[in-house]
Chain A
């Protein structure tokens, strides 16, 4: 789960990580008042959406007076911001963060995450702040310093000194980095973070270190024990179908194609998308109905798939391990009947009670095309979508 920049900065502040002063605003008048309260010669008005690249998209603007801050806020609030991370549809801006301008001397990069190869936490630091870090890693890998932290030992002083040295900080700044990193690491471990990215981390003319931006993500699997973090969730930032799926405990990802998919198990669901593509078609979604899929779940999943107007055919692919295919078949029949499914339906049932499941579908009188193998299911779904 990701949070907004202003929420990340509130957490940074609470854990002793230095950030510029700032206030949230939802109207131009609030933005003007916020700029007045800050009282700095320059303020920055920043669109609050869950995506990077806001500056290039026109969502971050400098203001030299409270009146200008008000004007910028009125331009940014309500705009649909398109960046390389939002997709072509963009995201509606509902809030801005008005922040004190900083006198920047150097821009650095700092991140903290789990390194999947070593299974340690890793601090990633670079002197190339303010740039796309993936590009830096590609072109000048020597400018990226990684420091690995044993999760059972925690961040050590020598590691802070190594990072400081890689960033070219002086003695006073190294001490400030120590406080900064201690705070970040504590926040990360106490709140089950998955990624902290500060780009840029700036050194000011006074020699202070400040987190000028803040991207903060949390481990979804740990939210059950972090109610304060779970409360920071902004449903407005989520895709409406993905949000609806989450509420009924289904894993759903919307895609661009026209074949709706309902599968049990994440691996098989990914493979089903691959199968459709191999057969020359294009999937409309990823949907993992889970190991405990039952009649009710199937119906909910169908509703969700049908909300997507692009869908011209639906492929149901179930490999019954523990899940009973006859119960899935009952669910499919009930859903097709009650929801009045009009698009062609291709259903492949395999494994536990599959024969009984096929009988139930054949006896239903509904227009359901059965398929035996994964290959056959893919082919039939693709031709069904073409014919529709």
Chain B
């Protein structure tokens, strides 16, 4: 199996602008079942061979979709997330970068108790190798296999996946959870899913400075995880008080340092990759 998605996933694309259309096309080429698009005002048209609807509810009724990917601009993205939840989708993956923090804090609170899982925002999405591509990842670098990959970053995820694939080590699911301060799916959520997934035998986790999600993951790994975890923390040389590209990547008030996260993970039995060039090798050494 895999986590979050599979070849049976029926995907909607919310926001059929230039990016939405491009990635709908790339996902279809990868074999993903993209069953519809949602773009207010474009309902009734067809784009990239996909029927477009004005609302998610309508799209779900017509297509039987169970997941969506969001390419809506920042000002409307939280609204799109709540619309996906309102329509009862099981998964919504928000790619949009730059959503105001308040909008996300409110939307996430409002989603408590709903059956919809949010991945992101500000994330590259989810790839189940040779089955399903949700988002913007270059799925051709992935390869089916036993390693779950979860990361707060985009291109650094590709780097790690590429290192694994070149060593002949495939992935069960590759997942970017996003670089914002408020995100739907945390490391702990992703690790919980990987621990329960029959196909996943080990996990690569890529964290970065800012917040305390890695420390929470360390606690979870220590208490609940049986599968080996290898981690790398980006930003070990980042100066305090500076936002390093991602809205959430900032060492503030002495909190969120890479060294604290690495110490917590190491104490929980996680093997740390000392260099970002050795993520694949470190995993290979740990499972062999």
Contact = CB atoms under 8 A, between A and B. Distances in A.
B276 A274 contact: yes
A151 B106 CA distance: 6
Interface stretch (A75-83, A203-211, A371-379): A371-379
Contacts of B287: none
B159 A278 contact: no
A273 interface: yes
A351 B237 CA distance: 26
Interface in B237-254: 237-239, 241-249, 253-254
A375 B163 CA distance: 11
Nearest to A253: B242
Contacts of B245: 251, 265-267, 269-270, 286, 288
A275 B275 CA distance: 6
B111 to A, nearest CB: 11
A321 interface: yes
Nearest to B154: A265
Nearest to B103: A222
A217 B206 CA distance: 29
Given A266-B249, A273-B237, A321 B124 contact: yes
B225 interface: no
Contacts of A58: none
A270 B138 contact: no
B247 A319 contact: no
Contacts of B152: 267
Contact of A194 (B101, B237, B239, B249): B101
A225 interface: yes
A222 B153 CA distance: 22
B63 interface: no
Contact of B158 (A151, A194, A321): A321
A117 B246 contact: no
Contacts of A266: 153-154, 179, 208, 244-246, 249
Interface string A143-155: 0000000111000
Given A134-B254, A351-B158, A267 B100 contact: no
A219 B276 contact: no
Interface residues of A, number: 55
A374 B109 CA distance: 40
B146 interface: no
A319 B277 CA distance: 13
Given A114-B105, A267-B154, A321-B124, A224 B136 contact: no
B55 to A, nearest CB: 23
A285 B187 CA distance: 29
A317 to B, nearest CB: 9
Nearest to B106: A151
B278 A267 contact: no
Interface string A112-134: 00101101110000000000011
Given A152-B109, A189-B102, A219-B102, A265 B212 contact: no
Contacts of A374: 159, 276-277
B193 interface: no
B159 A271 contact: yes
Contacts of B181: 114, 116
B252 to A, nearest CB: 9
Nearest to A252: B245
B168 interface: no
B109 A273 contact: no
B162 interface: yes
Nearest to A373: B277
A267 B210 CA distance: 12
B277 A375 contact: yes
A267 B247 CA distance: 12
Given A194-B101, A273-B238, A283-B237, A265 B137 contact: no
A74 interface: no
Nearest to B258: A274
Given A270-B249, A277-B237, A224 B277 contact: no
Nearest to A283: B237
Contact of B156 (A121, A267, A283): A267
A119 B108 contact: yes
A291 interface: yes
A120 B182 CA distance: 10
9 contacts: A85-B241, A133-B253, A220-B243, A255-B239, A267-B208, A271-B234, A274-B236, A350-B162, A351-B162
- Leading 4 A-B pairs by shortest Cβ distance: A267-B153, A266-B245, A265-B155, A375-B277
Interface of B: 22, 74-75, 98-102, 105-106, 108-110, 124, 136-138, 141, 151-159, 162, 179, 181-182, 206, 208-212, 216, 232, 234-239, 241-249, 253-254, 274-278
